Structure formats: C-alpha cells, structure tokens
Amino acid sequence: MNVHDSERMSGLLEEAGYVPADGEFADVIVFNTCAVRENADNKLYGNLGQLRQVKAANPGMQIAVGGCLAQKDRETIVRKAPWVDAVFGTHNVGALPALLNRARHNNEAQLEILESLDVFPSTLPTKRDSVYSGWVSISVGCNNTCTFCIVPSLRGKEKDRRPGEILSEIQALVDDGAVEVTLLGQNVNSYGVEFGDRQAFSKLLRACGQIAGLERVRFTSPHPAAFTDDVIEAMAETPNVMPQLHMPLQSGSDKVLKDMRRSYRSSRFLGILDKVRERIPQAAISTDIIVGFPGETEEDFQATLDVVEKSRFASAFTFQYSKRPGTPAAELPAQLPKAVVQERYERLTALQDRIAAEENAKQLGRRVEVLVTAQSGRKAGETHRLSGRAKDQRLVHFSVPEGAEAPRPGDFVTVTITEAAAFHLVADPAGPEDYIVRRSRAGDAWDRSQAESCGVPAPGAGSGKAGVSLGMPAIPARRA
C-alpha cells in the first residue's frame, strides 16, 4: 500500500511540472514513511540528518515527509529536523505540491495533517511503477483493533470504494496494457461492510473475471477472522484469480492471539488453509508472523512453530515484535528481552526456510507460465537469466535458449523448473522446444513506455526509467 502511495506522490509531482531526477542531483526529495516498526523512525531521522549538510550547500533543495510516520510524529519532525520543508499525513497526500510551493514562497516549513480522508487517494494522479502490473485500492483504513498495530489510528476507519469505480480503474489499466492487478486493502475481505454487502469482495473477484485482457488478479491482505467460503469459491471458480493467498497468522498461540485481539484461533486459521487447498490444490500460501509479543512464553512460541509446520507456507514475512507507543500492546507487562526474541526469531526463520525449500522442491519438473518482469536477480549479470513470477507468485529465474526469442517485460514464457531453492526457482530450458514465449499487450506497452522515455526497447532488458524510487535516496557528496 505504501508503494502505491509513492506512485501517487510521483504522479502528483509530475502533474505539477516536476520531472524525475534520473540519478542526478534532486531539487525535491520526498520520504514516504511507515510507522509499523520502530526501525522506520530510526531510518527517517538518520537520513534527514545526513541531508542537513547537503541542503545547506544547496539552499534551493526541498525535503518533504509524508505517510504514517508523519501522521504520527507531526510537529516532532519539524522540531527534530527544522530543515524539512513540508510534512503531510496519510489523509492529504494530494496536498504535497501545494505544500512545497507554500514552503518556497513563505520560506518556512509547512505542516498539514488532517484527521480524516480529504479525497479517496485513487482519484489522484498516479505514476505507475509498472506498465504491465498495477495496484488498485479497494479500501483504505481499518476497523480492527489489533493491540500491536498503530495503523488504524494513522489511516483511520475503513472507507470502501464502490465496485464500479474499482472496475473502471482496472479497465483503464488494462486498456493501457496491464495484464495483472493486485487489489489492495488493509483488510480486503471486510470490503463492502460500509455499504452493507458482506459478499462484496467475492463478487468483486468474479467481476474481475469478466474483464477481457486481464490475465492475473491478486489481492492483499485478508484477515482470517473475516475470511469466508464465498471468497474461496470465487478464487477457485474465477480463472484469472491466481492460486496464491497471503493470510497473516501473526501467532500460532491462542493465548497470544487473544492478547493481540486477533479474534480467531489457530484451529480457525488452519481450517481456512484446508478449505483453500481442497478447492485450489496448487495454491501457494504466504503469511506474516510476529515473534516476541509481550507475555509470549516458550510454550506459546512452540505453538507458533507447530502451526507453521502444519501450514507449509510457501513464504513468510517474519518480524520481531516492535513496541509502538500509542498501541495497547506497548503498555502490556512482560515485554520480552531482546536476546530471547532474537533466539526465537532465528529458530522460526530456520524452520520456515526449510519448509519453503521443501515446498519449492515439489515444483521441480513442473511446467509453469511466468510473467516476465523488468527486474532481474542479483546474479543476472553472471547467469544471464531473466526473471518473472509464476501464477502462484513464486519467483522464477529463467534462461533463454540460444537462438530463441527473448521476451520483453510483460510478456509470458512457459518453462520447466530445473532447480529449486528456498526463495526462488530456476528454469534452464534444454532447448527451444522446452521454451515458449507468448508476446502480450503488456510487452507492447513496455516498448511504448521505453520509446516515450527515450529508452531503447531492448527485449528482456530492465533498463527503463523507473517510475518511482522505492527506499532511501542516494545522498550525493557535498559539492565544493
């Protein structure tokens, strides 16, 4: 969701006349922040500190801070880093260009934080990071009260978009060449509660199946407490809904789940996975897990390991509990020592890495269709492999046989898996007969985007200009 917000910020700036710095010194640097974990605070203030001297040497440069951490810290940001020009929150992303203009005109920092949504973010201009795949928000905010989570207080109560608006945005993406969309919401399967339709999400999935040219539909994230059988049926019966599910577990201990206010128990979670696999046998399931929640005992942690063993996740995002001021969990007794949390975290990741490797090994010899992406693996220079995602979202690095057609980002290739590791698969075709390329509208859109940005449309090369820079900016050396 933060990635999609960054795309909106980029779109707003370009509409206001800004152009990407493209590796050169930037006039404007925007930090889009997250507040879920304490590490985000440290990264933001550390990077702002490094930029102080850079800005002193270049007085015209502007720095803006937005997102969840801005919504939380507000005046603290300007107090700690008075060289920041604009601070805006989660509810008024659209104010970014105006705040920069006012800061420049008034020669002082501009702080604007709203307590409720100004306009639904999807109405704002968006500079998509990809021409072949796009994010589509179906709701913003969250009505849950998980004790560890600060998001509801920063994003507000859930606000749902009408289905027609969502489908129109998807159609526009498809018309521009996209073949894949990911539906976004803090809790996608509670979508529709605001306008009184508890089956609205499954209906939305089925409606996506009627959009010609839309080949892959994904969504994130559902909540186990609200996950219903009609969604499973829609996934199984809608051909372009992918066999992939991200289902946050958080903990396998019923006691910890109760303390987290997660409103489901481990048996309910495992029951959902059983139903999904019964209807969609090839489904790859991923999850989120928190280690070291206050009061977690060794017995509680063992319960998490047991559920992970039974669940056979294809992948998992594992986190050490991060104490966030303002959340109920921050006030709970029995906050665990760092050493205990670290040791448990290492045991969990070792278990999950083993399971992921075992599950990936089951893919050996399978024929899979891969949507080629612009990004290649870290060793692409050595291996000369390209990369993409299978229908179940597994990462596949593949080679192009000598003399065979090289695909463009957005095209599809069908290959046989020849190697498996914990975090990726490899396909090295024995020859052209073991390798099929399907050129797509998305590949054509990639070529057009390269031409429009003065890039050279080299087949399979991910050398185009990125729409959004994700992560921390490179800080140039101070000029003399």
Q: Which residue numbers belong to the known binding site?
A: 142, 146, 149
| Cβ pair 372, 407 in contact under 8 A | yes
According to DSSP, residue 353 is labeled H
- Strand order across the 133-137 sheet: 133-137, 180-184, 216-220
Interior CA angle at 284 toward 170 and 363, to 5°?
120
Q: Identify residue 195 by its one-letter amino acid code.
A: F
According to DSSP, residue 115 is labeled S
Six-digit token string for 440: 């797509």
For residues 417 and 396, give the distance between their C-alpha atoms in angstroms, rounded to a whole number: 8
Cα-trace Rg, the chain? 23
- Strand order across the 284-291 sheet: 244-246, 284-291, 315-320
Helix (H, G, I), strand (E, B) or coil at 109: coil
Helix axes 229-237, 266-279, angle to 10 degrees: 20
Hey, which residues does 67 pair with through a beta bridge? 33
Annotated binding site for [4Fe-4S] cluster: 142, 146, 149
Hey, which residues does 395 pair with through a beta bridge? 389
Helix (H, G, I), strand (E, B) or coil at 387: strand
Alpha helices in 180-265 (DSSP H): 200-208, 229-237, 254-260
Six-digit token string for 147: 């004790």
Burial of residue 168 (number of CB atoms within 10 Å: 0-12, 13-18, 19+): exposed
Q: Count of CB atoms within 10 A of residue 82's CB? A: 10
| Cβ pair 373, 389 in contact under 8 A | yes
Q: What is the DSSP string of 391-449?
A: TT--EEEE-PPTTSPPPPTT-EEEEE--EE-SS-EEE--SSGGG-EEE--HHHHHHHHH
* Residues contacting 95, CB < 8 A, separation 6+: 88, 112, 118
